[in-house]
Amino acid sequence: MFKIVYLFPLFLVLVLAGCAHQTTNNNSTPIKTIKLGVIMPLSGDAAAYGEQAQRVMEYYLPQINERYKDKNIKFEAVYEDGKCSGNDAVSALQKLTDIDGAKIIIGGFCSSETLAIAPLTKDGHVLAVSSGSSNSAIEGASPYLFTLSYRDDVVAKKLADETGKYKTVAIISEQNDYNVGMRKNWLEAMKAYPNTKIVADETFPKGANDFRSILEKVRKTNPDAIFLNPNAGMPSQDLIKQLAEIKDWNGYQLISQYMYMSPEILKAAPAKSEGMIIVDSPSIDNPELLAIKKDIEASKGTLTDLGVYYTASTIDTLNVVTSLIAELGDDPKLVRQALVTRDFKGYISDDINFKNSNFTPTGAAVYVVKNGAVELQK
Amino acid sequence: MFFWQILLNSLVLGTQVLLLAVPLYLVHSVSRIYHLALGASGIFTAYALYFALSSNWPLGLAIIFSAVVAIILGFISYHLLGSSIKKKETMPGMLISLALGIILESLISIIFGTDAKSLVSGVLPVISWGNLYITVPGVITLSAGAILALLFLVLLNKTPWGRKLISVAENDNLAASLGMKAVSVRLGVFMLAGLLAGFVGIITTLNTALVPTAGFPLVILAFIVLLTGGLNSFKGVIVATYVLTLIPEFIIGLSGDNWSLNASWKMLIVFLLATLILMCRPNGLFISQTRSD
């Protein structure tokens, strides 16, 4: 009896602790908390993208929770750092599913992250929706993997349209999933331009930061245009800075992608980046979205690296995923079924759908650097 | 012109390796330990400079601060490796040093993050002759490399200081009986090595970018040139440095058209060359035989 008296408070504490995570609203109806696993690069070269996407989510998730308050549903984002690396993304996914119990993942953001977690989603115990992965290898990688990003092969085709205007062209690529995929797609798309000769095709290992000998090798081939294909962050900045060091080498057209949309990168070598052609996501001028972006920037910080498209795709991903979970629960199989059969409206498009693809249909646009700023080319 | 530009770029890269091989050689001379933490120690010093500069400290004060950090790292290294040096345990010593390097890299990542930083914003100033060009940090690297290589070549081979280092390394008990303070000599060398590694860390990252792991590839190359050059031959280390950095750069730089090799081949060529040298000259480039222990 003595022991039971002492064990009772312990039992009570355990029961209360077990109930602690289930909060209640004013009407004493239990609120169901659903964990959304989020995998993004929160450190490393691509950290700017992850941190800024996190700002969008932290700004927008409370609004979504307000929306589903009446249904007694609360979404909680659990962030894990994928470091833009396959190994780290896999560890992050395992932690999110095994420890946090998340069944729906938003991410990865980098293609390296998303492609690495693809095999782990195949059995349907977890579903992942990316807002930023564009590598065309995602197509068919897993039935439980989707992305709202534009596609690399669409961008590569547009890049080929631009580089195909010149007689000779060189490409400098970094060896990582994204840039290797982009190089492959671009080389394929360039077959449509037999009059353009690829005079240099240089690659450098991930983590390299001295490109001077590579640039000298490209300079020797005297190309009319150079397609810069490095990773976002410091490689892209170092590459253009070291290109600018060669003062007597001019008269070529620089062509690149999203990594040079960042004002910080352009500022590193303003004279050299002037006139650069950038192929990127379709331009979005939805005033409502632009107002949200402005508000996020005012309250949470800059979104300059993320840009308008990925701000929109992050919000759309949250909207699509949470609306389906609110309706069907966080069962990956049910959510997938809805994703592949329905149409959704969002900021990136009025017709977001995954009926025939792991990608939603999108295009690409051409921009040009003028007076240090990126402008849509008419 | 292309040939000379590739040569100039490669010389800068080679000299960065040589500048790190010098402290690695000095530490090995007095302790028989491969102090692999020197790469991370150099980068830690570069981050100390970055911290001081980004905190708007005056340049002079920032340089003094980073020099003090470098010397303290040398001091810590000596005390961590002290037991291994005393017991002549070279392998545990190398492992302790490697662990220290990893700890330093992790500390940098925790404090400053893993994203790359620049010590100098904007395009680096360059010096041009006709079509040839070199960055100012590149000029400093080449000058410092030439001066230090010559200085240590003379110091180690022609001065009592050099003989003192060798005697401490060979037999510190005998050296002590002759009135030499082995502990002070070793401590001095470790602190000097920390300072030199710090200089390399700063000059290398000034020419490119500051990342926590920047020291590792450099120290691995310095370690390879130390082995291929000969552990007891500073002249061999100098020659091996340029053999192992210039040849891969030239093979990659001059390759083209049907047999173009890209920068990813570099380390493969370095290791192939090192293997070939060690197969033909197992004790180093200029050492035909050594006394067995």
CATH number, domain at A242?
A: 3.40.50.2300
* Residue B72 counted as domain residue: yes
Inter-chain residue contact A210 with B208, CB threshold 8 Å = yes
Tell me the backbone φ, ψ of residue A78, rounded to 5 degrees: -115, 110
* Residue A5 counted as domain residue: no
- What is the CB-side half-sphere exposure of residue A193 using CA atoms within 13 A? 21
A196 and A270, same structural domain? Answer: yes
Residues in chain B with CB shorter than 8 Å from the CB of A244 are 123
Residue A7 has pLDDT above 60, yes or no: no
Across the range A289-299, mean pLDDT stands at 94
* Residue B225 counted as domain residue: no
Inter-chain residue contact A213 with B207, CB threshold 8 Å = no
pLDDT in tens, A186-224: 999 999 999 999 999 999 988 788 899 899 999 989 999
Q: What pLDDT was estimated at residue A263?
A: 81
Residue A89 has pLDDT above 90, yes or no: yes
pLDDT in tens, B4-29: 898 998 999 999 999 999 999 989 88
Question: Does residue A317 sit in helix, strand or coil?
Answer: helix
A267 and A163, same structural domain? Answer: yes
Domain that holds residue A275: 153-280
A49 and A105, same structural domain? Answer: yes
* Residue A23 counted as domain residue: no
pLDDT in tens, A144-157: 999 999 988 899 99
Inter-chain residue contact A213 with B10, CB threshold 8 Å = yes
Higher pLDDT, B62 or B1: B62
A173 and A274, same structural domain? Answer: yes
Distance from CA of A242 to the nearest CA of B (A): 7
- What is the CB-side half-sphere exposure of residue A212 using CA atoms within 13 A? 27
User: Residue A101 has what DSSP assignment?
Assistant: -
* Residue B222 counted as domain residue: no
Q: How far apart are CA B88 and CA A188, in angstroms?
A: 59
* Residue A3 counted as domain residue: no
The reply to whether ipTM tops 0.85 is: no
Inter-chain residue contact B126 with A245, CB threshold 8 Å = yes
Number of domains in chain B: 1
A247 and A222, same structural domain? Answer: yes
A317 and A276, same structural domain? Answer: no
Domain that holds residue B150: 2-214
- Token output for A91: 């560890």
Q: What pLDDT was estimated at residue A4?
A: 54
Inter-chain residue contact B208 with A238, CB threshold 8 Å = yes
A136 neighbors A151 (Cβ within 8 angstroms): yes
Residues in chain B with CB shorter than 8 Å from the CB of A219 are 2
* Residue A257 counted as domain residue: yes
User: Residue A371 has what DSSP assignment?
Assistant: T
Residue B167 has pLDDT above 50, yes or no: yes
- Nearest residue, CB atoms, A44 vs list B114, B128, B260: B114
Residues in chain A with CB shorter than 8 Å from the CB of B263 are 202-205, 208, 213-214
A176 and A262, same structural domain? Answer: yes
pLDDT in tens, B140-155: 999 998 998 888 888 8
Final residue in a domain of this structure, among A257, A280, A303 = A280
Query: B118 and chain A: CB distance < 8 Å anywhere?
Result: yes
A130 and A52, same structural domain? Answer: yes
Interface of B with A in 259-278 (CB under 8 A): 260, 262-264
Inter-chain residue contact B128 with A248, CB threshold 8 Å = yes
The DSSP element (H or E) to which B234 belongs, if any, is helix B234-254
* Residue B169 counted as domain residue: yes
Inter-chain residue contact A216 with B118, CB threshold 8 Å = no
Query: A274 and chain B: CB distance < 8 Å anywhere?
Result: no
Residues in chain B with CB shorter than 8 Å from the CB of A88 are none
* pLDDT classification of A96: cutoffs 50, 70, 90: very high
Question: Does residue A278 sit in helix, strand or coil?
Answer: strand
A221 and A114, same structural domain? Answer: no
Query: A198 and chain B: CB distance < 8 Å anywhere?
Result: no
Distance from CA of B22 to the nearest CA of A (A): 22
Inter-chain residue contact B126 with A217, CB threshold 8 Å = no
* Residue B167 counted as domain residue: yes
Q: What pLDDT was estimated at residue B31?
A: 85
A54 and A82, same structural domain? Answer: yes
Q: How far apart are CA A329 and CA A94, in angstroms?
A: 21
**Of A347, A320, A350, A344, which is closest to residue A130 (Cα–Cα)?**
A320
pLDDT in tens, B201-253: 999 998 888 888 889 889 999 999 999 988 778 888 899 999 998 998 888 88
Q: What pLDDT was estimated at residue B83?
A: 82
Residues in chain A with CB shorter than 8 Å from the CB of B116 are 45, 209, 233-234
* Residue B261 counted as domain residue: no
* Residue A300 counted as domain residue: yes
A300 and A271, same structural domain? Answer: no
- Dihedral angle at the C-alpha atoms of A211, A237, A206, B207, nearest 10 degrees? 50
* Residue A11 counted as domain residue: no
* Residue A331 counted as domain residue: yes
ω into A108 cis (within 30 of 0):
yes
* pTM metric for this prediction: 0.77
* pLDDT classification of A59: cutoffs 50, 70, 90: very high
A164 and A66, same structural domain? Answer: no
